[in-house]
Amino acid sequence: MQQLPAQFEDRAIRRVYDEEREAWWFSVIDIIQVLTGQADYQTARKYWNKLKERLAREGSQLVTNCHQLKLRAEDGKQRLSDVATAETLLRLVQSVPSPKAEPIKLWLAKVGYERMQELADPARALDRARETWQKHGRSEKWIAQRMMGQETRAKLTDYWASHEVKPGQEFAILTNLIHEEWSGLGVKEHKQLKGLKTQNLRDHMSEAELIFTALAELSTRQVAETARASGIDANKVAARTGGTIARKARQDLEAKTGKRIVSGENYLPPSTGGRRKGIRK
């Protein structure tokens, strides 16, 4: 997951992009601070706790739709915080009497609209990503491979979405299954190997890891299309098959070169506390 704060007026709203679930999660307390005009975090947190109790008594599903993710606190540490999607927050805002209600609703709607634009025209998102990767010192060769992998991923998730696989948890299950089949590690294990926490795993892959991830996802889609797989169970079969195809290719290459493909290297600068030496290309 990638943390990228957004700005509402003069206040930073913490948010996390979950690539596997393909959704932005916003800090609920940051939104509550805006609505209540509270500069003090603890006061806003107490307000939110009381609001949660009232909504629960009323049988509202809003609290159920909130989740907890680790967000960066003022002291720089990652702490579990309540988060919600823009859709859930748009409904939550209605429960808080505030002169900021309409401005924050418009802002959330705008954020959602920008995401819709990216879905309709993925080039927008890729252009922004290219700029970010360039700023972080990635080579043009790496960027080209990362973008190709992103396109391959998008075609796979488009297939899933149109064949009765639910975005969110089911996407994450299939993604992890593919990754585990080709690499021998689950997504979380691979991140741990690289010393990553909230960072996006793919942004820290080597070129070889990106290539085999793309091969696994391309193979999965083509197998699923051939079998006309529909639903989570049928697509699990395709995911295992696609991952296995990439695993065999990985093992063949490793046997020829004597070099492991799955690597602990990453692009974390030393100041972030990453365990591994950063890749320099």
Domain range summary for the chain, segments of one domain joined by +: 2-118, 140-272
Considering only residues 166 and 126, tell me which one the structure prediction assigns the higher pLDDT.
166
Cα 254 off chain centre by: 30
Pairing label, strands 6-8, 11-13 = antiparallel
pLDDT digits (tens, 9 = 90+) for 72-121: 877 777 888 999 888 888 888 888 999 988 898 888 877 765 554 454 45
Q: Which pLDDT tens digit goes with each residue over 129-176?
A: 777 788 878 888 999 998 899 889 989 998 998 999 987 788 989 999
User: Quick check: 127 pLDDT over 80?
Assistant: no
